Amino acid sequence: MEIRHVRWAVLLGAIVVASIAAACGGSGSATTTTGTMVDPLTVSVPPSTVDASLPAEPGIFSIAGRPSLTLAMVRVAGMHGLLGEQGLSTRLTDASSFEDLKSSLESGAVDAAVVTSDDAVRLVSAGLPIRTVLLLTAGTSNQVIMGRDDLEGIASLAGQQVAVSLESEGELLLQGALVEQQVPPDAVQVVAAEGLGPSARLVRGDVAAAAMTGEQAAVALAADPTLQTLYTAGDYPGLISHVLVVRQAVADERPGQIVAFIRGWQEFYAFSRDQPDVVIEDVARLTKQDSTAVAFSLSGLSSYDLAANAVELLPGGEYFDRTIGAIVAAALVSGWIEDSIDGQALVEGSFVQAVATAR
């Protein structure tokens, strides 16, 4: 399923107008202000400073990431030559842990990483100079909050016990949902559910609700059909997401490689829609999973295309305006970071903006 919002066409058009206005020095158009800014839907988007015509610089663009479906999808893009066609040579390596990933970026052993949005926040909080330059995938039904049938939405969790696996996407979904619904985090009693797992505790009646994976939710519903879905990752697009982050030095010194990767991802986006079965089989081989299980897992993800990125990573986009802030807030509540950070300063949308306006 594609990630799209009704306003995207309007906002992307505004970005294009901004770039044209900048190139022409401003023409008095009704949608421009000060010649280089546009303000449709109360959003001002400056033109990109990145030259989209830059070729990929020589050398290997090295990427690390903890094993995930999204990292496997990037590998598939490379396997089918979709990155190479953009003049980009890539090397992908698996990181065994967050600390391993952090060390690789910190030392300069890799140029970029495929990470979850919350891991990007953790990396910046740890002092790493990185920027999010591309949204890759977002969860839709891969993470859910299930609850008893007498509950009425997230607000009804106040005063209730909710089971989660700590430091998981399920915990992020719960805290993000509480932020969105304006429920104080201390109003909910979070129960660490290692061992039996959140779904088992809910089915057994130990808790009122639980955050779990889509696969666990299917099993829980089979065991107790009276359970209901209170919230899914798709209810807060981008909260559960994977992104491409690059070291600031790479963004400064090798912008052409980033532009090439963005174009290659867009080619993969089209490829995955034309040949979904090929992608499923490739991901299954790479992850050593059954293709049916991979198909189910991929059905709970949506991919961001170029048009979506060119809006979401800029002011006015949901991810830039709201989602990254909610992720920072959830990370604070969960204790993943000690001090708040400026989430918007982590986001760098000029690369996708440049590629989108050049098409």
List, for residues 262-278, the tens digit of each pLDDT value.
999 999 999 999 999 99
Burial class (CB in 10 A: 0-12, 13-18, 19+), 33: middle
Query: Are 36 and 21 in contact, with CB atoms under 8 Å apart?
Result: yes
Give backbone dihedrals phi and psi of 193, rounded to 5 degrees, phi first. Answer: -120, 60
172 Cα distance to chain centroid: 13
* Residue 63 DSSP symbol: E
Report if residue 338 sits inside a domain. yes
What is the per-residue pLDDT across 231-262, written as a single tens digit (0 to 9) for each?
999 999 899 999 999 999 999 999 999 999 99
- What are the respective helix, strand and coil percentages of the chain, to the nearest 5? 50, 20, 35
Same domain, 134 and 250: yes
Same domain, 250 and 293: yes
pLDDT of residue 2: 45
Residues spanned by the domain of 206: 143-235
Lowest average pLDDT, out of 5-14, 85-94, 121-130, 343-352, goes to 5-14
pLDDT of residue 196: 66
Work out the average pLDDT over 150-177.
Answer: 94
Report if residue 31 sits inside a domain. no
Same domain, 247 and 352: yes
Q: Which residues, in sequence order, are CB contacts of 42 under 8 Å at separation 6+?
A: 316
Report if residue 6 sits inside a domain. no
What is the per-residue pLDDT across 108-130, written as a single tens digit (0 to 9) for each?
999 999 999 999 999 999 999 99
Q: What is the pTM assigned to this prediction?
A: 0.85
Identify which of 45, 47, 50, 37 has the alpha carbon closest to the alpha carbon of residue 314. Answer: 45
Q: Which token pair is 2?
A: 């594609």
Same domain, 147 and 226: yes
Place of tokens 């003049």: 87
pLDDT of residue 27: 32
What is the per-residue pLDDT across 8-57, written as a single tens digit (0 to 9) for each?
443 444 444 334 333 333 333 333 223 233 333 444 567 888 998 989 99
Would you say residue 291 has pLDDT above 60? yes
pLDDT of residue 45: 66
Report if residue 10 sits inside a domain. no
Report if residue 1 sits inside a domain. no
Q: Which residues, in sequence order, are CB contacts of 266 under 8 Å at separation 6+?
A: 305, 306, 355
Helix H or strand E segment including 83 = none
3-class secondary structure, 70: helix
Q: Which token pair is 213?
A: 């994976």
Report if residue 20 sits inside a domain. no
Same domain, 231 and 244: no
Q: Which residue has the higher pLDDT, 42 or 194?
A: 194
pLDDT band at 195 (very low <50, low <70, confident <90, very high): low
Same domain, 252 and 126: yes
Domain C-terminal end among 235, 267, 300: 235
Domain C-terminal end among 219, 235, 251: 235
- CATH number of the domain that 180 lies in? 3.40.190.10
Same domain, 261 and 305: yes
